[in-house]
Structure 1
Amino acid sequence: MLLMDNSIITPPSFLITAMSVLSLVSLVFLGCSEIMGKHLKYSKFWNVNNSGKSQVKLSSRTGMLIFYTPAVLAGLASFWIFPHQGFRFLLLTSALTFHFFKRDFEVLFIHKYSGGVILDSAILIGALYFSATAMMIYFQHLSEGLPEPRIDLKYVGMVCVLIGNKW
Structure 2
Amino acid sequence: MLSRVIFPPPNSLFITVMSMASLSFSVLGLCEGLGKNFEYSKFSNLNVERSTSKRNNTVCSRNGMLAAYTPAFLSAVTFSGLFPNVGLRFLLVNSALTMHFFKRILEVLFVHKYSGGMAVGTVITITLGYFTTTSITIYALSLTQGFPEPPVDLKYLGVVLFLVGIVGNFYHHLLLASLRTKIDKGYKVPKGGLFCLVACPHYLFEILSFLGICFISQTLYSFASTISTICYLMGRSYATRRWYLTKFDDFPKDVKAIIPCVF
The TM tier, using the shorter chain, reads: 0.7 to 0.9
Alpha-carbon separation, structure 2, partners of 1:24 and 1:86: 27
Matched, 1:41 2:39: yes
Aligned to 2:23: 24
By how many angstroms is 1:160 displaced?
Answer: 1.1
Question: Superposed, which structure 2 residues align to 1:1-167 within 5 Å?
Answer: 2=3, 11-28=10-27, 30-47=28-45, 50=48, 52-53=50-51, 54-55=53-54, 56-166=57-167
After superposition, what is the alpha-carbon deviation per residue over 1:93-138, rounded to whole angstroms, capped at 9, x for unaligned? Answer: 1001110110001101121111111110011011111111111101
Q: Is the 8 A contact 2:37 2:43 kept in 1?
A: no
TM-score (norm 1): 0.86
Alpha-carbon separation, structure 2, partners of 1:18 and 1:74: 21
What are structure 1's unaligned runs of at least 5 residues?
Answer: 4-8
By how many angstroms is 1:49 displaced?
Answer: 8.3
By how many angstroms is 1:42 displaced?
Answer: 0.8
What are structure 2's unaligned runs of at least 5 residues?
Answer: 169-263
By how many angstroms is 1:48 displaced?
Answer: 7.3
The amino acid across from 1:50 in the alignment is: V
Q: Secondary structure at the match of 2:134?
A: helix
Alpha-carbon separation, structure 2, partners of 1:154 and 1:10: 18
- Describe the shift of the 1:151–1:25 C-alpha distance in structure 2 as closer, same or farther (beyond 3 A): closer
- Describe the shift of the 1:10–1:159 C-alpha distance in structure 2 as closer, same or farther (beyond 3 A): closer
CA RMSD of superposed structures (Å): 2.2
The runs of at least 4 aligned residues of structure 1 exceeding 4 Å deviation read: none
Q: Is the 8 A contact 1:71 1:100 kept in 2?
A: yes
After superposition, what is the alpha-carbon deviation per residue over 1:5-54, rounded to whole angstroms, capped at 9, x for unaligned? Answer: xxxx55410111111122123332x2343244321101224317836132
Aligned to 1:6: none
Q: Provide the identity percentage.
A: 48
Q: Is the 8 A contact 2:10 2:144 kept in 1?
A: no
After superposition, what is the alpha-carbon deviation per residue over 1:145-166, rounded to whole angstroms, capped at 9, x for unaligned? Answer: 2111222222211111111111
Q: Secondary structure at the match of 1:117?
A: strand
Aligned to 2:258: none
Alpha-carbon separation, structure 2, partners of 1:49 and 1:25: 27
The amino acid across from 1:13 in the alignment is: S
The amino acid across from 1:86 in the alignment is: G
Aligned to 2:188: none
Alignment coverage as a number of residue pairs: 162
